[in-house]
Structure 1
Amino acid sequence: MVSSLSQLSFFFFFLFTTLCNSQPYLQLPLLHIHPSPTPTQALSSDSLRLSLLHSRRRRRSAASPVVSGASTGSGQYFVHLRLGSPPQPLLLVADTGSDLVWLRCSACKSCSRRLPGSAFLARHSSTFSPFHCYDSACSLVPGPDPNPCNHTGLHSPCRYSYSYSDGSTTAGFFSREATTLNTSSGAPAKLSDLAFGCGFDVSGPSLTGPNFGGAQGVMGLGRGPISFASQLGRRFGNTFSYCLLDYTLSPPPTSYLRIGVPKSDVVSKLSYTRLLLNPLSPTFYYIGIKSVSVNGVKLPVRSSVWALDKNGDGGTVIDSGTTLTFLPEQAYRLILTAFKRSLKQVASPAEPTPGFDLCVNVSGLGRARLPRLSFALVGGSVFAPPPRNYFIETMDRVECLAIQPVDSGSGFSVIGNLMQQGFLFEFDKDRSRLGFSRHGCALQ
């Protein structure tokens, strides 16, 4: 494993030496494309839980725009990159809940009938190279069978098969390729080799339906060694951050994914909580919730409801690849009851939109009067998102609670990207902590 990580770090040497002369961190635009007129068909669907995964010195930094996918009916955030020589433009979902960077690939030669950008054309690149099945990097990805070299031939490529919780899969060759990123400064940053999955077989609702928003793949930002954040992170302090700006604004604002830490006083304003590690699901960024309150009143939820147990069940994950927030059944029911009691005094109920348990007519009612939710976290910090982060407009003047229940005994809680909007989140893997603040997004 160590030698494989060293190889991957060496692959990015050209990128780092280039960026160190121009900017102290990598900044990539995050694109959030606005919801369609009927977002509930996408946003109430569990298929948007894209990333609920398959199986068990002086710091510099690097930023890229992140864009919302709501205008296509998707609740995802996207990152642009250009892959290959010559570069081919592609769009990837930014996902902290998975490790693999992968793209839909095509082996066709002429591709005269294929729409530009619908897939990465491996044969059109002079720098595309699959890892060999005996390469140490091949052991970093799950394969279709226990023996990665059971295929005949001296040049057998490394085959991978990566699955998501709803059964969606991507399979193909684990490869390396020259990559160009569009940074916020306008100057492209070139990576000499990016380890990624070249997917020739992609299936399942999370990866092929309208919720995928026209993306060609996923940029895994998880804690594993093959994630985009890990491949770049060793030279940038093993830290990355992002802001997911409000998807309801039009035109959609641009926020950024930053690899590394810029010199800014925003860091001093961050609140921190410890990142927990689940050995059975090492990909995920777990945080510890101690309690939940509605309008400042602590709800009677047992601490065991939030706990990560010895079997790897339970706990709470911060996930940019999931849209809605999923909380344990017991906590969810108490929140629902408290919200209904609070709203009974200020708003009239609305017919529930399919997929949501609570909807209210907000005609004449400002969002400031909606119930206030807050989470007390391990370490003493409090995460208190505004109501727009957990109420979503499903039709004109009708707001629905964008939180869903999950069985505490068989799943884990998820703080989705809707709940994260408007906060700066900093993932510090060396110190194993998550920083967050309502300040700093405008500075990106």
Structure 2
Amino acid sequence: MVASFSSCSPIPALVIVFSIYLSTFAVVEAGDNGGFSVNIIHRDSILSPFYDPSVTHFERLQNAIHRSMSRANRLKQSAISPLEVSSQVVPDNNGSYLMKMSFGTPPMEMFAIADTGSDLIWIQCKPCEKCYKQKAPLFDPNKSSTYRNLSCKSKECDLLDSGHRTCAPKTNDWGYSNFYGGRSSTRGFLAIETFTLGSTSGSSVALPEKIFGCGHNNEGTFDERESGLVGLGGGPLSLISQLKSSIGGKFSYCLVPFEKENVTSKLNFGSEAVVLGDDVVPTPLVIKDPVTFYYVTLEGISVGNKRLTYKSSSNVAAEKGNIILDSGTTLTYVPSDFYQNLESEVKKLIHGKSFGYPLPLCYNASTDVNVSITAHFSGADVKLKPQNTFFRLSKKVLCFAFIPHVEDDMGIFGNIAQMDFLVGYDLEKRKVYFKPADCSKH
């Protein structure tokens, strides 16, 4: 392809991450209210196709912690350099969750990384100039009756950053190129296709005329069981954004705790994503660069009866939208000077000698600890459960699920802190809702 860029203005593309596993049944169209739910499965679950029975539960949790640290560093770099977001987004090939969806007509099922930290949906396609090895057959656009390439004259040119598209001179088709960290990349053509998602009701939801990248040149640190990536972020090409009108800008999830390895979590859309009840607390979503992160404002954290004001030496914590809700990061990250105060108060309520490896605050404890911790978001006091604040790295080692950023950067509210909460996003009202729940029964 010849690099012939148009004058369409670039739009930032990036948000948070998770990966989901969907089943496909008889196809039905989504209703006007766009309400449906799907199962989501953690990559380490016994229900996951990546499940390795030779790895213990605690080893899987330790692996998740290592992935969390790598991911937090990538999100930090993206937040620091919003103009370089596209090059900073790294595909989470060891992602927290996995996704199975179908492409084309007739539908072809495949796994992909579902990533709320990126925008573009893409899969590996025939003919493949250079592809990483995958177990599933490559998608063949010539065998789908609903596939078509996007013309360079199409209005969709505004949806992809001008630095990541080219116009093929012979065919007049839009080519794309996305470069990630870790020497990973994808190149191919932007196209229109029908996606099919399975719902928990037993019927599938057909999503016609959706934009995706048909990748003919892909390389990097992808697993052979993954056929591509599904962006669930807030950028214009993500699955959430492309569904926005039919789902009313609403989605929610309920994450099952790690120890419940044989239970699926839930991802809800449209009318099924509305979070109701007397115990629901809302907090505003804050729009900042990069626009695809879900920013909220954390005002403080209480440990027992002691409330600590959320602050940092760099004053980042004093700003609105000072923390990101990220279901793809395992731990919760706060500025280092605030963390020191937080850790000090936690230690006062726990009897026993602590140690700082492999995380800053751990204990030798065969039984769980119950320290009352409440996260005070703007307008929403979220009382965390013991499983949201401490977790087991082994039968005898218990560690605090909050850790400091090396630098005083944007905070990240991770998935341990969100487990057994129904977390709802209303992108039209710009609010996030928290409701305590038993996600294994939700």
- Sort the TM-score into its range (normalised by shorter chain): 0.7 to 0.9
The unaligned stretches of length 5 or more in structure 1 are 5-14, 57-72
Q: Judge conservation of contact 2:124–2:214 (CA < 8 Å) in 1.
A: yes
Deviation string 1:328-381 (CA, Å, 9 cap, x unpaired) is 1222222222233333x1x4435722xx22221121x2x2x34333211112x1
For the pair 1:245 / 2:245, whether they are aligned, the reply is no
Give secondary structure in 1 for the equivalent of 2:363: strand
Task: Return the alpha-carbon distance in structure 2 between the equivalents of residues 325 and 263 of structure 1.
Answer: 24
For the pair 1:328 / 2:335, whether they are aligned, the reply is yes
Task: Return the alpha-carbon distance in structure 2 between the equivalents of residues 397 and 419 of structure 1.
Answer: 21
Give secondary structure in 1 for the equivalent of 2:99: strand
Q: In structure 2, which of residues 41, 49, 52 is the aligned counterpart of residue 31 of structure 1?
A: 41
For the pair 1:155 / 2:172, whether they are aligned, the reply is yes
Write the mapping of 1:403-422 to structure 2, written as runs, cut at 5 A.
403-407=402-406, 409=408, 411-422=409-420
Q: Judge conservation of contact 2:34–2:246 (CA < 8 Å) in 1.
A: no
Q: In structure 1, which of residues 163, 178, 198 is the aligned counterpart of residue 214 of structure 2?
A: 198
Give the C-alpha shift of residue 424 in structure 1: 0.5
Give the C-alpha shift of residue 18 in structure 1: 2.6
1:399 alignment counterpart: 398
For the pair 1:115 / 2:113, whether they are aligned, the reply is no
2:382 alignment counterpart: 383
Identify which range, 264-273 or 173-182, moves more after superposition: 264-273
Letter in 2 for 1:125: S
Letter in 2 for 1:86: P
Give the C-alpha shift of residue 203 in structure 1: 5.0
1:352 alignment counterpart: 357
Q: Judge conservation of contact 1:329–1:405 (CA < 8 Å) in 2.
A: yes
RMSD: 3.5
Deviation string 1:194-226 (CA, Å, 9 cap, x unpaired) is 21233445455xx536xxx94433332222222
Task: Return the alpha-carbon distance in structure 1 between the equivalents of residues 386 and 438 of structure 2.
Answer: 20
1:61 alignment counterpart: none
Identify which range, 385-394 or 155-164, moves more after superposition: 155-164
Letter in 1 for 2:222: T
Letter in 2 for 1:25: G
For the pair 1:208 / 2:222, whether they are aligned, the reply is yes
Q: In structure 2, which of residues 213, 235, 247 is the aligned counterpart of residue 224 of structure 1?
A: 235
Give secondary structure in 2 for the equivalent of 1:323: coil
Residues 267/426 of structure 1: CA separation in 2 closer, same or farther (3 Å cut): farther
Runs of 4+ in 1 over 6 A off after TM superposition: none
Deviation string 1:135-191 (CA, Å, 9 cap, x unpaired) is 22132123555x733x43243333132546x77544433222111111111112212
Give secondary structure in 2 for the equivalent of 1:299: strand
Give the C-alpha shift of residue 55 in structure 1: 4.1
Residues 290/170 of structure 1: CA separation in 2 closer, same or farther (3 Å cut): farther
Give the C-alpha shift of residue 301 in structure 1: 4.2
Residues 51/107 of structure 1: CA separation in 2 closer, same or farther (3 Å cut): farther
Task: Return the alpha-carbon distance in structure 2 between the equivalents of residues 156 and 202 of structure 1.
Answer: 19
Residues 290/187 of structure 1: CA separation in 2 closer, same or farther (3 Å cut): same
Q: Judge conservation of contact 1:274–1:378 (CA < 8 Å) in 2.
A: yes
Q: Judge conservation of contact 1:29–1:79 (CA < 8 Å) in 2.
A: no
Residues 420/50 of structure 1: CA separation in 2 closer, same or farther (3 Å cut): farther
Task: Return the alpha-carbon distance in structure 2 between the equivalents of residues 352 and 263 of structure 1.
Answer: 39
For the pair 1:79 / 2:86, whether they are aligned, the reply is no
Letter in 2 for 1:315: N
1:428 alignment counterpart: 426
Q: Judge conservation of contact 2:252–2:273 (CA < 8 Å) in 1.
A: no
Give secondary structure in 1 for the equivalent of 2:267: strand
Q: Judge conservation of contact 2:141–2:147 (CA < 8 Å) in 1.
A: yes
Residues 104/337 of structure 1: CA separation in 2 closer, same or farther (3 Å cut): farther
The unaligned stretches of length 5 or more in structure 2 are 1-7, 12-25, 46-54, 84-92
Write the mapping of 1:194-343 to structure 2, written as runs, cut at 5 A.
194-203=210-219, 208=222, 214-251=225-262, 253-262=263-272, 266-267=276-277, 269-278=279-288, 280-302=289-311, 304-308=315-319, 315-343=322-350
Letter in 2 for 1:222: G
2:110 alignment counterpart: 90
Q: TM-score, normalised by structure 2?
A: 0.76
Pairs aligned (count)? 390
